[in-house]
């Protein structure tokens, strides 16, 4: 590495200067917004108002965009902060709270930041977070309604009076035929159980402990087919010394994905609380998110993956850090995670559900598309869900000035799989882009490149009125850019014809002061008409009683974990690398 300061980053610095809550009428500044776009797009992410600390370290900020233009031709947008009980306390008494990396601790427990994923079903909207329970939100006002399940209905990793730490995969699996959501509730430590949970949109949360799972770091996503549930691990190393700021990373992420398959029939014939078996499958390269074909009537699971090759969610940039290229990290980029060191890649796999045999495996990538972040697909009706044939992937591009030296030391010459050798990373970088992946023909069918520094994320598929079938519609993206309106930072939304990404956006819309921070996941839902179709709520008293009643159960789990770790250390079987590794 040169001692000279290298060229600065081209990636926009307008990432974490969010405008917070607001209402906007976004004016179409180029093109024509289609008048047959339907429904609403919701996007959730950390409410970052200024750079500093990990990207994920703020409570959620939820945005809603109406896809149907107003009579005046504008696009209505609204943003509201997630107003959970603990979030409201934190805003009033911030000195009671302490943040370590992306986790927040207080006398009330471990805060549910409610900032990661959004899921709709039956006119209701739910926000997910990997270290907390799902939260139901009103899709009209964006106000918090209730947590899903009381504290006592979930397995807890750490006690708390208001918010015990309840790790629940941020992405639930909607099972449309059952009108139910499935979750994974887990404790990623040796000797601790992992549960599959089912909630029928009302009533109690049912849980089954799972048998046959190997060690893992975390679980982020679960999907449902007609007859099975499929979920995967997410590499996420939490090393104690790193969390305390006392040392560099020792352990690299795993270089594969673990998938687990559960038959719905096993759940139907097993009472909640009793164990059900899982089938474990290993595929190459780590995975961020899943898609599945709902139709598995032939006994074959068709699984599509967002691979996150060489990504590391716990290596972040710090202000003043000198990167591998010799560039100095600006404050604007502090907290950005290591995601963009390879082309964006998707996998598509056929797996025999009964045995876990991988019958076919293909990976899809294109050198025109780098730094894949998040994808979308058409889930808007049964035909589209039965067979997923197309996906749209948003990427940041590749910026050599943002390759962390810590990342380089950990991964540059490791034996991890990669599409492009690390010594051949493009010195000139690659632009941010939106790509269309044809999963049926196993190819990237179109790429639209952005101006240097700008990139789209997240993308969301939007159906059109009177459409001809699956994938007939639009893709809306939030575009992160250095754009300035009247001296203020501003961003924009764009809408594409889903079948002509390379043709560029059909329309661009923005407004003065419209400046969301870098957000996470999105979801499309039909606009709800009428009142909320449920009276389900969890009272504060019930929540408190459930938390207190669980103290003993949490203590027993910790005792079991301690015994298992001690036993594995004595036997020399405690994993020191790979999933579930512990730097002891």
| Secondary structure in 3-state letters for 81-102 | ECCCHHHHHHHHCHHHCEEECC
- Alpha-carbon distance of 540 to 495, in angstroms, equals 42
* pLDDT over 90 at 568, yes or no: no
What value does the mean pLDDT take over residues 449-453? 93
The reported pLDDT for the residue numbered 245 is 60
The reported pLDDT for the residue numbered 236 is 77
* pLDDT over 60 at 101, yes or no: yes
Answer for the pair 65, 476: CB distance below 8 angstroms, yes or no: yes
Answer for the pair 380, 463: CB distance below 8 angstroms, yes or no: yes
What value does the mean pLDDT take over residues 489-497? 92
* pLDDT over 90 at 573, yes or no: no
In tens, the pLDDT along 379-415 reads: 999 999 999 999 999 999 999 999 999 999 999 999 9
The reported pLDDT for the residue numbered 255 is 93
The reported pLDDT for the residue numbered 555 is 65
- Alpha-carbon distance of 324 to 414, in angstroms, equals 16
Answer for the pair 458, 289: CB distance below 8 angstroms, yes or no: no
The reported pLDDT for the residue numbered 244 is 57
Which pair of structure tokens corresponds to residue 217? 């770091």
Task: Categorize the per-residue pLDDT at 584 as very low, low, confident or very high, splitting at 50, 70 and 90.
Answer: very low
Lowest-pLDDT range of 262-276, 368-382, 558-572: 558-572
DSSP state of 406: H
Task: Categorize the per-residue pLDDT at 4 as very low, low, confident or very high, splitting at 50, 70 and 90.
Answer: very low
27's CB contacts (< 8 A; 6+ apart) are 73, 74, 509, 510, 511
Task: Categorize the per-residue pLDDT at 51 as very low, low, confident or very high, splitting at 50, 70 and 90.
Answer: very high
| Nearest in space to 80 (alpha carbons), one of 151, 145, 170 | 145
The reported pLDDT for the residue numbered 1 is 36
- Alpha-carbon distance of 151 to 139, in angstroms, equals 24
Counting Cα atoms < 13 Å in the Cβ hemisphere of 244 gives: 5
What value does the mean pLDDT take over residues 454-481? 97
* pLDDT over 70 at 517, yes or no: yes
The reported pLDDT for the residue numbered 5 is 47
For β-strands 75-81 and 22-31, DSSP reports them as antiparallel
Which backbone phi and psi does 342 adopt, to 5 degrees? Answer: -145, 165
Answer for the pair 234, 256: CB distance below 8 angstroms, yes or no: no
The better pLDDT of the pair 193, 580 is held by 193
| Nearest in space to 215 (alpha carbons), one of 243, 190, 241 | 190
On the 0-12 / 13-18 / 19+ scale of CB atoms within 10 A, 144 is: buried
The reported pLDDT for the residue numbered 240 is 63
* pLDDT over 80 at 280, yes or no: yes
Task: Categorize the per-residue pLDDT at 560 as very low, low, confident or very high, splitting at 50, 70 and 90.
Answer: low
What value does the mean pLDDT take over residues 303-311? 95
**Residue 237 three-state SS:** coil
201's CB contacts (< 8 A; 6+ apart) are 121, 122, 124, 179, 180, 181, 534, 536
Task: Categorize the per-residue pLDDT at 242 as very low, low, confident or very high, splitting at 50, 70 and 90.
Answer: low
Residues 14-52: b if buried by 16+ CB within 10 A, e if exposed:
bbbbbbeeeebebbbeeeebbeebbbbbbbbbbbbeebe
**pTM of the full predicted structure?**
0.94
Answer for the pair 245, 316: CB distance below 8 angstroms, yes or no: no
The reported pLDDT for the residue numbered 66 is 98
What value does the mean pLDDT take over residues 16-25? 96
Answer for the pair 253, 235: CB distance below 8 angstroms, yes or no: yes
Angle between helices 551-571 and 540-549 (to 10 degrees): 40
What value does the mean pLDDT take over residues 140-157? 95
- Alpha-carbon distance of 556 to 194, in angstroms, equals 15
The reported pLDDT for the residue numbered 444 is 98
User: Which percentage of the chain shows pLDDT scores above 70?
Assistant: 90
- Alpha-carbon distance of 305 to 322, in angstroms, equals 33
Lowest-pLDDT range of 84-98, 107-121, 160-174, 562-576: 562-576
What CATH homologous superfamily does 22-571 map to? TolB, C-terminal domain (2.120.10.30)
Q: Give the Cβ contact number of residue 184 at 10 Å.
A: 28
* pLDDT over 90 at 8, yes or no: no
The H-assigned helical ranges of 424-496 are none
Answer for the pair 256, 283: CB distance below 8 angstroms, yes or no: yes
User: Which percentage of the chain shows pLDDT scores above 90?
Assistant: 78
Which pair of structure tokens corresponds to residue 193? 């159980």
The reported pLDDT for the residue numbered 208 is 98
What value does the mean pLDDT take over residues 410-429? 94
What value does the mean pLDDT take over residues 304-327? 93
- For the chain, domain boundaries: 22-571
The H-assigned helical ranges of 360-491 are 382-386, 405-411
Lowest-pLDDT range of 5-9, 55-59, 333-337: 5-9
* pLDDT over 90 at 340, yes or no: no
Mean confidence (pLDDT) of the chain: 91
């Amino acid at each position: 590495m040169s001692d000279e300061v290298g060229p600065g980053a081209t990636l926009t610095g307008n990432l974490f200067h969010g405008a917070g809550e607001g209402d906007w009428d976004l004016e179409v500044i180029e093109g024509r917004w289609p008048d047959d776009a339907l429904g609403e797009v919701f996007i959730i992410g950390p409410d970052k108002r200024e750079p500093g600390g990990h990207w994920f370290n703020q409570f959620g900020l939820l945005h809603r965009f109406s896809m149907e233009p107003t009579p005046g031709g504008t696009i209505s947008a609204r943003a509201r902060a997630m107003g959970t009980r603990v979030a409201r306390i934190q805003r009033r008494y911030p000195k009671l709270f302490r943040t370590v990396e992306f986790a927040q601790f207080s006398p009330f427990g471990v805060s549910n930041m409610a900032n990661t994923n959004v899921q709709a079903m039956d006119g209701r909207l739910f926000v997910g977070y990997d270290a907390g329970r799902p939260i139901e939100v009103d899709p009209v006002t964006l106000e918090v309604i209730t947590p899903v399940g009381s504290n006592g209905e979930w397995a807890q990793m750490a006690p708390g009076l208001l918010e015990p730490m309840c790790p629940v995969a941020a992405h639930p699996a909607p099972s449309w035929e059952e009108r139910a959501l499935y979750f994974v509730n887990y404790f990623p430590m040796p000797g601790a159980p992992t549960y599959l949970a089912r909630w029928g949109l009302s009533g109690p949360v049912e849980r089954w402990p799972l048998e046959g799972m190997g060690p893992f770091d975390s679980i982020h996503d679960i999907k449902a087919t007609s007859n099975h549930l499929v979920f995967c691990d997410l590499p996420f190393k939490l090393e104690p010394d790193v969390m305390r700021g006392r040392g560099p990373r020792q352990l690299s992420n795993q270089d594969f994905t673990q998938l687990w398959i559960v038959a719905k029939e096993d759940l139907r014939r097993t009472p909640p609380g009793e164990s059900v078996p899982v089938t474990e499958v290993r595929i190459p390269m780590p995975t961020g998110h899943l898609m599945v074909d709902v139709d598995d009537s032939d006994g074959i699971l068709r699984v599509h993956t967002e691979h996150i090759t060489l990504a590391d969610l716990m290596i972040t940039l710090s202000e003043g850090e000198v990167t591998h290229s010799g560039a100095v990290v600006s404050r604007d980029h502090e907290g950005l995670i290591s995601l963009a060191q390879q082309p964006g890649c998707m996998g598509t796999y056929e797996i025999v559900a009964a045995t876990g045999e991988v019958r076919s495996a293909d990976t899809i990538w294109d050198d025109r598309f780098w730094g894949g972040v998040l994808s979308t697909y058409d889930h808007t009706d049964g035909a589209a869900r039965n067979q997923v044939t197309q996906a749209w992937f948003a990427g940041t591009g590749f910026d050599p000035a943002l390759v962390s030296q810590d990342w380089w030391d950990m991964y540059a010459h490791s034996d991890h799989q990669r599409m492009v050798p690390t010594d051949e990373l493009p010195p000139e970088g690659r632009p941010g882009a939106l790509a269309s992946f044809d999963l049926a023909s196993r190819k990237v069918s179109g790429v639209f490149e952005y101006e240097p520094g700008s990139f789209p994320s997240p993308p969301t598929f939007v159906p059109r009125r009177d459409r001809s079938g699956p994938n007939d519609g639009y893709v809306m993206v939030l575009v992160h850019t250095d754009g300035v309106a009247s001296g203020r930072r501003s961003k924009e939304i764009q809408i594409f014809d889903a079948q002509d990404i390379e043709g560029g956006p059909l329309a661009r819309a923005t407004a003065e002061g419209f400046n969301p921070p870098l957000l996470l996941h999105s979801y499309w839902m039909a606009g709800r008409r009428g009142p909320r179709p449920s009276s389900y709520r969890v009272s504060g008293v019930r929540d408190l009683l459930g938390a207190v009643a669980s103290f003993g159960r949490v203590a027993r789990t910790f005792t079991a974990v301690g015994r298992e770790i001690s036993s594995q250390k004595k036997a020399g079987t405690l994993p020191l690398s790979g999933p579930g590794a512990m730097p002891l």
